[in-house]
Amino acid sequence: MDKIRIIARLDIKGPNVIKGIRYDGLRVMGKPDEMAGIYYEQGADEVLYIDTVASLYERNNLTDIVRKAATHIFIPMTVGGGIRSVEDAQKLLHSGADKVAINTAAVKRPELITEIATALGSQAVVVSLQVKRMSGGKWEIYIDCGREKTGIDVLYWVKKVEDLGAGEILVTSVDMDGTGEGFETELIRKVVESVSIPVIASGGAKTPEDIGGVIRDAGVDAVAVASMLHYGRFTIAEIKEILGRNSIAAVRH
């Protein structure tokens, strides 16, 4: 059994790390390279960079960020935002990234998942989901920073992306993101039950106990943490220590 990974998530807008509540009211948190360096020192198991506006403006500024990070951060790096082709993905992997995360482009052209998985391996493809709750106990996929509805049912989509060759699934609950009100555990549990690939939970954690809860109750392989770290509420070392006390084995560096 692999150890539980704690992933430092950095949402990027232009030169800054930003964070909002439900993808809204974005505030500048700091510089990507500096913040990623701090989380690496704290014992992060992975860094996740998401360019929040890349898909809106059809550009990609993450190559420079990851190249710089690769000089001093020696853990796996996942990069998402604005990746539309195998070439985009390849360029990032040649710049020090280990995986790419795709959302909008995968919804618009699902074959992209298979194309990247074939060229670079499934382990390099993370499909990122922005999810909002609907009535009747269902959830819907959103794109373009949680702004655009797609009408796609989450549990249908996750099975499809697994079949297309995704290596991992990142589930972000737009409803909970940045709120500190806890994870959308039922959604995440249903995603975990629907697929056999690893699932990363994101959005809503306030305390390490919330993280322990989603690991225990939803069975995720990893948790991506943002606000809790950015606002200095807990360090990654503290999160791991508390998980350890609750008999959850996190990665030991």
Partner 1 sequence: MKQVKIINYFYGNIFSVAKAFEYFGCNVTIGNCPDEFKDADYIVLPGVGAFGEGIRRLQEQNLIMPALDFIKKGKPFLGICLGMQLLFTCSEEFGVHKGLNIIPGTVKRLIEQPGTKIPNIGWNSIDIPEGRDHAFWGDSILRGISPGKDMYFVHSYAPYPEKDKYWLSRTPYGSDWFCSSTRKDNVYGCQFHPEKSGKTGLKIIENFLKL
Q: What is the DSSP letter of 185?
A: H
Q: Give the dihedral sign, CA 127/133/138/140.
A: negative
Task: Identify the CA nearest to 55 among candidates 111, 7, 101, 96.
Answer: 101
Token pair belonging to 60: 């990609």
Query: How many CB atoms within 10 Å of residue 41?
Result: 13
Return the range that interacts with partner 1 (CB under 8 A); candidates 13-21, 48-56, 94-102, 133-141. 94-102
Residues 98-117 that bind partner 1 (CB under 8 A): 98
| Interaction pattern, residues 58-77, with partner 1; x per rule: CB under 8 A | ---------x--xxx-xxx-
Nearer residue to partner 1 within complex by CB, 167 or 204: 167
Question: What is the nearest approach in angstroms of partner 1 to the Cβ of residue 195?
Answer: 12
Among 40, 139, 183, 234, binds partner 1 (CB under 8 A): 40
Return the range that interacts with partner 1 (CB under 8 A); candidates 22-30, 39-47, 148-156, 170-178. 39-47
Nearer residue to partner 1 within complex by CB, 96 or 203: 96
Task: Identify the CA nearest to 202 among candidates 95, 124, 101.
Answer: 101
The amino acid present at 45, given as its one-letter code, is D
Task: Identify the CA nearest to 139 among candidates 188, 192, 74.
Answer: 188
Residues that bind partner 1 (CB under 8 A): 1-3, 5, 40, 43, 45, 67, 70-72, 74-76, 93-98, 121-123, 167, 196, 198, 221, 251-253
